[in-house]
Amino acid sequence: MTRYILQRLGYMIITMFLIATFTFFLMKFLPGTPLSAADKLSEEQQAVVLEKYGLDDPVPVQYFNYIVNLTQGDLGISFQFDNREVTTIILERIGPSMTIGVQAMIVGTILGMLLGLVSAIYHNGFLDYGSTFIAVLGKSIPSFVFAGILQYYVGVKLGWFPVALWGTWQHTIMPTIALAIFPLAIAARFMRTEMLEVLGSDYITTARAKGVNKFGVVFKHGLRNALIPLVTVLGPLAIGLVTGTLVIENIFAVPGIGEQFVKAINTNDFPIIMGTTLLIAFLFIFIILVIDLLYGVIDPRIRLAEGE
């Protein structure tokens, strides 16, 4: 197990390094410098600006400095916001992203599991078809379309919640719902399949035969066993959430990482693009690592398979 974790950590570092390198050279390919908008400056002034951003060195030196600074958590200075450290800009934006991300994950998986459970219990009944239909819609309808519907009907027409922006807890509700629909759909589908399998197994029949009531069978004997494989879908879910936040934050003007990323792309603010890319990549890799490890902890069979 330790060897496996170390191996995975090794891969993680290699991947992060590759992404950092890749983004750095990509940014060098792109047109535009901090001077683009200010070419009326004199030679000396231009030199001062270039030096400030470390752009006066040859590219290999810049790359070396970038990697060294990166390992110390220094991502450079933003082009767009004068003299502001990229690290601070990004750090203050993690909060809102985390808020809606975590809320959506909790709301989505819990509701999805309930939906899947209902589906499995009333297999092939009206409720089953209903919840399967919701799951298909939730999985298929693009997040921006769903967010648009929410914004128009709930925000504009009904006026229940603020249409956009950030501040009070009411502001978090619509982004959370829009983001939660994907985990909800995935969890519901998965839960249904697992629960059907579990409910058909022998120990459930035994429990029934011993006189455990339906509620007890489903929640005590069934649910626990169906939960184990649910960990397997957490990976795709987390990826969906990261993609989702980029869209949702922009639609609802949430001051999070996704919104900053898109803003930076549209304003050619390279240090911020690099910073957010690395952060998103890091989150992504980290989540996958944690899930893979969780896997092994929860289900010994997987641990054995990995050990071979």
Partner 1 sequence: MDNHKPSKELFVPVERQENEGEKIARPSLSFWQDSFMRLRKNVGAMIGLATLIILILMAIFGPYMNQYGEFEQDLGRAKMPPKVEGLGWLGMDGTLSATMSGATVEQATTNANMRFNNDEEFIKTSVVSDGSNGEPAQVKAVYDVYAAKDMNDQSFWFGTDGLGRDLWTRTWKGTRISLYIALLAAAIDMVIGVAYGGISAYYGGRVDNYMQRIIEILMGIPNLVVVILMILILEPGIISITIALTITGWISMARIVRGQILKLKNQEFVLASRTLGAPDNRILRKHLVPNVTGLIVINTMFTIPSAIFFEAFLSFIGLGLPTPIASLGTLIDDGFKSLQIYPHILLFPAIVISLIMIAFNVLADGLRDAFDPKMRE
**What is the spatial distance between Cα 132 and Cα 231, in angstroms, rounded to a whole number?**
20
Which of 265, 291, 293, 298 forms a contact with partner 1 (CB under 8 A)? 265
Does 284 help bind partner 1 (rule: CB under 8 A)?
yes
Which part of the chain contacts partner 1 (CB under 8 A), choosing from 58-66, 77-85, 86-94, 275-283? Answer: 275-283
Least distance (Å) between residue 152 CB and partner 1: 6
* Crossing angle of the two packed helices 86-121 and 126-140, in degrees rounded to 10: 160
Q: Which residue, 217 or 245, is less far from partner 1 as judged by CB?
A: 245
Q: Which residue, 139 or 208, is less far from partner 1 as judged by CB?
A: 139
- Dihedral sign (CA 260, 262, 268, 273): positive
Does 251 help bind partner 1 (rule: CB under 8 A)?
yes
Which part of the chain contacts partner 1 (CB under 8 A), choosing from 81-89, 169-177, 218-226, 241-249? Answer: 241-249
**What is the spatial distance between Cα 294 and Cα 303, in angstroms, rounded to a whole number?**
10
> What letter represents residue 241's amino acid?
L
Write each residue from 71 to 100 as x if it is in contact with partner 1 (CB under 8 A), else as -, in one continuous string. Answer: ------------------------------
Question: Phi and psi at residue 35, in whole multiples of 5°?
Answer: -85, -15
Least distance (Å) between residue 14 CB and partner 1: 6
Does 110 help bind partner 1 (rule: CB under 8 A)?
no
Does 174 help bind partner 1 (rule: CB under 8 A)?
no
Which of 38, 156, 165, 297 forms a contact with partner 1 (CB under 8 A)? 156
Closest CA to 242 of 292, 280, 276: 280
DSSP string spanning 128-166?
Answer: HHHHHHHHHHHHHS-HHHHHHHHIIIIIIIS--S-SS--
Does 42 help bind partner 1 (rule: CB under 8 A)?
no
* Contact assessment for residue 155 and residue 194, using Cβ atoms and an 8 Å cutoff: no
Closest CA to 207 of 229, 224, 188, 232: 224
Place of tokens 């992404």: 19
Does 239 help bind partner 1 (rule: CB under 8 A)?
yes
Write each residue from 112 to 151 as x if it is in contact with partner 1 (CB under 8 A), else as -, in one continuous string. Answer: ------------------------xx-xxxx-xx--xx-x
**What is the spatial distance between Cα 181 and Cα 143, in angstroms, rounded to a whole number?**
8
What would the two tokens of residue 276 be?
A: 């957010």
Place of tokens 């071979």: 308
Does 152 help bind partner 1 (rule: CB under 8 A)?
yes
Footprint on this chain of partner 1 (rule: CB under 8 A)? 11-12, 14-15, 18-19, 22-23, 26, 29-30, 136-137, 139-142, 144-145, 148-149, 151-152, 156, 239, 242-243, 246-247, 250-251, 262, 265-266, 273, 277, 280-281, 284-285, 288
